[in-house]
Structure 1
Amino acid sequence: MLGKNKRVTLLSYWTSRYLLTLIIGLLIISFISALWIRHTTLENRLEMMEFMAEEMVNRITDVSMPGIPPNERVPDFAEDRFRIQNINPSMYIVNTDGKVISSNLPLKQGEQRIFSQLISGKDEIETFTSSENNQKYYSVKKKIVIDDELIGWILMVESKDKLTMVKQEYGQLAILIVGLALLGWWAIYFLSRRLAHPIKQVAEAAKQVQSGNYEINLSDHIKEKEVYELVSSFKQMAGRLEQLEKTRTELLAGVTHELKTPVTSISGLLQAVNDDVVTEQEAEEFIRMALVETTKMKTMVGDLLAFNSFAVGAVPVEISRLDVDNFMKDFTTQWKVIQEQSDVVVKLQLLHKKVMISADLVRLQQIMTNLLTNAEQAISGIGEITISLSEKGQYVSVLVKDSGSGIRIGEQAFIFERFFRGENKKYGIRGLGLGLPLSKMMAQSIKGDLYLVESTEKGTCFELLLLKEG
C-alpha cells in the first residue's frame, strides 16, 4: 500500500521512464544493427573473395605470359592483393578432377573430397559444414578457361565466423548507442525540468492560496502554450478567490448592517409610540415609517430566500407563450407609473412584428424590474434608459442601456457574483447584492441568459436573451 501511494516528482517520473524506454529501444536497435553489420560484412567479404578469385583467374590466363604453361602460372599467394583485411581465406587451385595443384595453406584431411563436391556444384558461392570442427564454411569458385577449354578451378574457402567477425564496427556502434542514450537522457531531463518548474511554482502558489495568502508571484515568461494557460488561469482564479474572500468577509457586515438599520429604526419608532413620546398624528406617522422599514426588511429577506431557492433549483418555472412586443409595452408602462423619480426617460424600440417567446411571465418581470431599477440607480439626475429588441438566431435580444456613470473596470468581472456590491452602491443604496446574480439565474431557468455587454463612463448596457417559441 505504501508503495502504491508513494508520490514522486514529475522530473524523476518522466526522466526515469523515458530513460528506461530509451535504453530498451536502443538495445533493440543495437541488436538489429549488429545483425545488419554481420550480414553486410559477410556480403562484402564474399564479394571481395569473388574479386580475388577473378584476379587469380586473370593471372593464370594472362596471354602476356607466352611460353609458360598454364598449370605453371601460379600466382604468388603472399601478395597483398590476395589478402583481405582481418581474414586470410584458404585459396586453392585445382584441376578438373578436383586435385589441388597449389594452395596458400597445407591441405587438411578430407578436404580433397570436399573440393570434388564443390567443383561439381552449379553455384559459384556454396556453403558446407566441416566434419572436423562442425563449423559452417563459405566457398567461392571460379573457372579457369583457356582457349575455350576448362583446365581447372580457383577455390577460396573461409569459415562463416571469420567472414562475419567485426570489431571496429561494434565499437563504433557501442559509442554511438551510448552517445544517443546520454543525449536523450539529457534532453528529456532538460525538457522535464523546464516543464516541471512552472507546475511546481503553481503547486506552491496553491498552498499559499490555501493558507489565505493571495499575493502570489508567477512568471508570465513561458513559451509553452498549455503551461502558460495553466499559470494564467491560476492567477485569474487566485484573483477571483481573493475578491470573493473579500466579498464573503464584507457579506456578514453588509447583511448585518442592512438588516440592523431597519430593525433599529422600527424598534426606535415603536418605542417612541409605546412610551407616548409622540401622540396622535405623529404616532400614526411613526407607525407608517415603521411599516415602510418593515417592507424594506421583508424585501431583503425575500431576496435571500428567492436566491437560495433558485440556487438549489427549488423554484418551479411555468413556461408560457408571450408576444415580446406586447409584454415590453405593458411592462414599461407599469414600471413608469410606480416610479417616483420623473427625471429618467425610458425609450422602447420594438420589433414591430409578432414574435412569440417561451418564458415565465413572473420571472421575466422580475428580471426586467431588476435591470431597470439598477439602470435608474446608476443615473444621477436627468438621464435615459433605452430598451432595444432585436432577433438573434433562435433568441430575441433585449438590450437595456442607461446613461449612468458606468461600472468600474475592476468590478465588471464580479457583478454576477452573489453578494457583490460595487463601491458606487455599497454606501449609497441599500441592498444585498443579489439583484443581478438572481436575474441571471432566472434568465437561465427559462433557457435564456443575461450578459454585461459594455460599461463605460457614458453608461452601461446589459443583454437579455429570450428563447423564441418552437
Structure 2
Amino acid sequence: MVTLLIGLILIGIISTLFIKNSTIKKRIDIMHIFASEIADIVIDNNGQMNINFKLARIIEKRDRFLKLDKGFIMVLDKRGQIVYGKSPIIDKIILDNTFLSLEDTEHYKKIKFSNNKVFYQVTHKIETVNNETLGWVIMLNPERSIIKSPEEMKLLVMMLIGLAILGWLVIYLLTRKLSRPIMDLKEAMNKVDNGNYDIHLDNNHKQKEIYELMNSFEQMTIRLKSLERLRTELLAGITHELKTPVTSISALLQAMKDGVVSKEEENEFLEMCYEETNRLEKMIEDLLDYNSFAVGAIKVDKEKVDINLLIKEITYQWHIGQEDVVEVNTVLLEKSILIQTDPNRIRQILYNLLNNAKQALRDKGKIEIIMHQENNEIRIDIKDNGRGIPLGEQDLIFERFYRGKEKMDNIRGLGLGLASSKLMAQELGGDLILKESSIKGTIFTLIIAKPTKKTTFT
C-alpha cells in the first residue's frame, strides 16, 4: 500500500507538471492567434491602422472564449501610445514594462509587476504588406489564469482515484492468493514442531516461488520423518551395543564375586572382561571422535609424503596384523608422487575401509587396493569380492550410526566408521565415495589429493 501511494503521488506530481506546461503552451498559442487576428482587423483597406467599433465586439466575443476578464488587451501605435485598451487598471508601470519588451522576438514573455503579480505577455506587430510597423497588439494574462485547467485536473483526479481503487483491489487479491498457501505452510510447520511429519500440502500453484517453497518443505518433512525413524532405530541399536559389554562384564564379575568359578576360570573371565572393556572403550572413543569431527575439530598435520610408499606401508601393516589369512593385492601408481597430506588420517581411513572389506568377505576372499589418477585427482579404490551392500542401504551407509541389517546382526559396533572416514577425507581436501556395490563385491574410492603445479613427480 505504501508503494502504491508513493507511486500515485509521483504520477500525480508528474501529470500535474505535464498538464501545467501543456496548458500554458496551449493558452499562449491561442493568445498569439488572437493577437494576430486583432492585428489584421485594425488595418483598413488603405493600409492604415483604424480602430472602430467592430474591434470591441470581436474582442468581447474572444474574451468570453479565452476567459481574459482578468487580463489586458491593448493596441499601441508605432510611438508606443495606447490607442485601444481594455483594462480595469492601466498605469504607467504596465506601459513601461510592456513597451520595454515590444521588440522582443520571443514567443511570449513572463513579466513581474511591482505589485508582485506575474503576467504572461504576448506581443504581435501590426504590419502592412510592405512590412511597415504601424503598432503592436499587447495581450497580458495573469499567470494564475493561464495555468488553470479545471477539466484536465478533474480528469487527473478521477484517473488517480481509479488507479488507487484498482491498485488496492489487485494488492488485496494477490495478498489473499499468496497468504493462503503461506498460512497452510505455517500450520504444517506447527505440526512438524509438534513431531507430526505426516504433511500433505497443495502443490498446484502457478507461482514458481510458492510451488518450490511448498515442494521443498514437503521434501524436507519426508526427509525428517525418515531421519527421525532412523534416529529412533539407531538410538535403540546404540543403547543395545553399549549395554551388551556392560552386561557381560557385570555378569562375569558377579560370578567371580560369588565364588562359583574355579581359579582357572577366573583368569579366563578376567580376560573376557578385559576384551569387553576394550570394546566398550573403543565404542566410546568412536563417539567422541565423531563428535569432534562433526563440529569441525579434526586435527590435521600435513606433511610431504610419497603416496606410493605411504599406501604400501599402511597396507602391509594392516595385513600382518590380521589373524585370518586374507589375500591382499596392491596396485600402485606408475610414478611416485609427493603430496601434502596427513599420513595418520590416511591410515585411519584405510584401516576402516580394509576392516569393512574383511567383514564382507566370504571364504577365500580377496581385497585389492588400486591407485590411479582420474580427472587430475589421486584416487584409491578399495575393492573386495564380498557379499556387497543391498541396494536399499547404499544411500545410507555414510549416515552416522547407520548399520546395515546383516552387519547389525553379526558385527558389534556403532556405525560411525564410514561417517568419520568421510569427514576426515573431506577435511584433507578429498572425499570418500561408494563407487559401486553388488553381489560380486564392493568398491569404495578414497580421493586424497588434487595435484597442483607444485606437486613433485619422481
Asked if TM exceeds 0.5, the reply is yes
1:35 to 17, 23, 42: 17
Give, in angstroms, the shift of residue 450 of structure 1: 2.6
Q: Secondary structure of 2:410's partner?
A: coil
- State the alpha-carbon separation in 2 of the partners of residues 69 and 363 from structure 1: 116
Q: Work out the percentage of aligned pairs sharing the same amino acid.
A: 40
Partner of 1:123: 104
Q: Secondary structure of 1:217's partner?
A: coil
Note if contact 1:358-1:466 (Cα within 8 Å) is conserved in structure 2: no
Give, in angstroms, the shift of residue 92 of structure 1: 4.0
Give, in angstroms, the shift of residue 394 of structure 1: 7.9
- State the alpha-carbon separation in 1 of the partners of residues 55 and 318 from structure 2: 123
1:93–1:457 distance in 2 versus 1, CA, 3 Å? farther
1:429–1:279 distance in 2 versus 1, CA, 3 Å? same
- State the alpha-carbon separation in 1 of the partners of residues 48 and 341 from structure 2: 119
1:34–1:158 distance in 2 versus 1, CA, 3 Å? same
Partner of 1:71: 50
1:416 to 368, 390, 398: 398
1:387-398 mapped onto 2 (5 Å cutoff): 387-391=369-373, 396-398=378-380
- State the alpha-carbon separation in 1 of the partners of residues 221 and 166 from structure 2: 39
Give, in angstroms, the shift of residue 123 of structure 1: 2.2
1:310-321 mapped onto 2 (5 Å cutoff): 310=293, 317-321=300-304
Note if contact 2:72-2:140 (Cα within 8 Å) is conserved in structure 1: yes
1:193–1:465 distance in 2 versus 1, CA, 3 Å? farther
Partner of 2:409: 427
How many residues are treated as equivalent by the alignment?
445
- State the alpha-carbon separation in 2 of the partners of residues 458 and 175 from structure 1: 81
Query: Which amino acid in structure 1 is aligned with residue 67 of structure 2?
Result: I
1:440 to 419, 422, 431: 422
- State the alpha-carbon separation in 1 of the partners of residues 30 and 389 from structure 2: 90
1:176 to 130, 141, 159: 159
Note if contact 2:298-2:424 (Cα within 8 Å) is conserved in structure 1: no
Check if 1:303 corresponds to 2:304: no
Q: Which moved more, 1:203-212 or 1:282-291?
A: 282-291
- State the alpha-carbon separation in 2 of the partners of residues 458 and 252 from structure 1: 32
Query: Which amino acid in structure 2 is aligned with residue 159 of structure 1?
Result: P
1:271–1:417 distance in 2 versus 1, CA, 3 Å? same
1:12-411 mapped onto 2 (5 Å cutoff): 19-61=1-43, 71=50, 74-75=54-55, 77-78=57-58, 82=62, 85=65, 87-88=67-68, 90-98=72-80, 101=83, 105=86, 107-110=87-90, 114-115=94-95, 118-119=98-99, 121-123=102-104, 125-128=108-111, 135-146=117-128, 148=130, 149-192=132-175, 196-221=179-204, 230-265=213-248, 293=276, 295-308=278-291, 310=293, 317-339=300-322, 346-379=328-361, 384-391=366-373, 396-404=378-386, 406-407=388-389, 411=393
Note if contact 2:352-2:421 (Cα within 8 Å) is conserved in structure 1: yes
Query: Which amino acid in structure 2 is aligned with residue 425 of structure 1?
Result: K
- State the alpha-carbon separation in 2 of the partners of residues 169 and 23 from structure 1: 21
Note if contact 1:22-1:181 (Cα within 8 Å) is conserved in structure 2: yes
1:286–1:57 distance in 2 versus 1, CA, 3 Å? same
- State the alpha-carbon separation in 2 of the partners of residues 422 and 136 from structure 1: 95
In the superposition, the TM-score normalised over structure 2's length comes to: 0.77
Give, in angstroms, the shift of residue 332 of structure 1: 3.0
- State the alpha-carbon separation in 2 of the partners of residues 240 and 427 from structure 1: 26
Deviations 1:283-303 (A, max 9, x none): 887776666555544443443
1:465 to 410, 428, 447: 447
In the superposition, the TM-score normalised over structure 1's length comes to: 0.75
Give, in angstroms, the shift of residue 170 of structure 1: 0.8
1:460–1:79 distance in 2 versus 1, CA, 3 Å? farther
Q: Which moved more, 1:442-451 or 1:30-39?
A: 442-451
- State the alpha-carbon separation in 2 of the partners of residues 436 and 401 from structure 1: 15
Give, in angstroms, the shift of residue 167 of structure 1: 0.7
- State the alpha-carbon separation in 1 of the partners of residues 377 and 242 from structure 2: 39
- State the alpha-carbon separation in 2 of the partners of residues 128 and 20 from structure 1: 41
Note if contact 1:144-1:151 (Cα within 8 Å) is conserved in structure 2: yes
1:29–1:55 distance in 2 versus 1, CA, 3 Å? same
Give, in angstroms, the shift of residue 351 of structure 1: 0.8
